[in-house]
A = this chain, B = another copy of it.
Amino acid sequence: MKTNKQWRLAARPAGLFKESDFSWREEPVPEISDGSVLVRVIYLSLDPTQKVWATTDSYLPAVPLGEVMRGGGVGVVERSRHPSFAPGDIVQGMFGWQLYAAVPAQTVNKLPKGIPLGAFLGVLGHIGLTAYFGLLDVGQPKEGDTLVVSAAAGAVGSLAGQIGKIKGCRVVGIAGGDEKCRWIREELGFDAAINYRAEKVADALKRECPEGIDIYFDNVGGEILEAALGWLKLHARIPMCGAISQYTAAEMRGPRNLSNLISRRAKIEGFLVSDYMPRAAEAIPKLLEWMNSGRLKFRLDIVDGLEQAPRAVNKLFEGTNLGKLAVKVSPEP
């Protein structure tokens, strides 16, 4: 009998995750009921929003203490009691921080063959859809717009910036560290990069966006949002995708210059990729085409072994991941 391995949430994290916020459990692989599939998880996606899920009710209820930590991933069907799925199918879904997941088949997407699995963690997964709809639907870029992206070397930010380039924007990325800045400028084709660890973002924005910001794609909140709010053009749009600076902050802070939205006739709009799932079929062919033609690059930061997940997830908040962070839970077939 095979053994499942799990990280269950043991405590509500404060600040960074601690390993003691989770408990490791090994137990028999579950039976599946009619309509369900048993998935062996290959990759577990680590995302900033998991800090929110572990902490508080938000757009989803908080993960209950004692339950398997929530997380999306890519896996392979090992057993199926649903006619649409067969063993060997590669699937995507919310499998949790565990090796085996028994999940209702209707919550699972079958993935096409012939595409590297890692693509479904990034450009062809929820990350790619977040960047696509957040920028295009909420941000409404026009050719010649100045687009600023924070966490620009991160999973969503790096794609949002490249999509901005494809749409004819001048794109300025904000990232932490010279290597990240070099990567987005030299390899992803951003027009400029600001290293927020090395200089004052408010000053750098004035230098790199001499006429101001049309779109600020916000992944971080906090001080960088405040800096962007201080340098908006008229009718600027701020798609609010995340606020990672706040997820581990000891004290939350809001932008003190929020009322600049009035004089700039500008808006901040929050969005969630889940609302766009019904429109995924609009985006996926374009993302795939851009990926295949080399216009949309991404990189993965793969940590090996489910055991590493509690430590690995903090890389997101420390800014030490280089590319889309995921855990390799078990081998690809």
Contacts and interface: CB of A to CB of B under 8 A. Distances in A.
Nearest to A245: B259
Interface in A160-177: none
Interface stretch (A31-39, A104-112, A203-211, A249-257): A249-257
A257 B266 CA distance: 19
Chain A, interface residues (CB within 8 Å), range = 20 to 34
Interface stretch (A1-9, A268-276, A288-296): A268-276
Nearest to A254: B254
Contacts of A263: 58-59, 270, 272
Nearest to A220: B259
Q: How many identical chains are in the complex?
A: 2
Q: Chain A interface mostly helix, strand, loop or mixed?
A: loop
Contacts of A122: none
18 contacts: A58-B263, A59-B262, A59-B263, A59-B264, A221-B258, A225-B258, A240-B258, A240-B261, A240-B262, A259-B270, A262-B271, A262-B272, A263-B272, A265-B272, A265-B275, A266-B270, A267-B268, A268-B269
Interface of A: 58-59, 221, 225-226, 240-243, 246, 252-272, 275
Give the 7 A-B CB pairs with smallest separation, nearest first. A254-B254, A261-B270, A243-B259, A262-B270, A267-B269, A252-B256, A59-B263
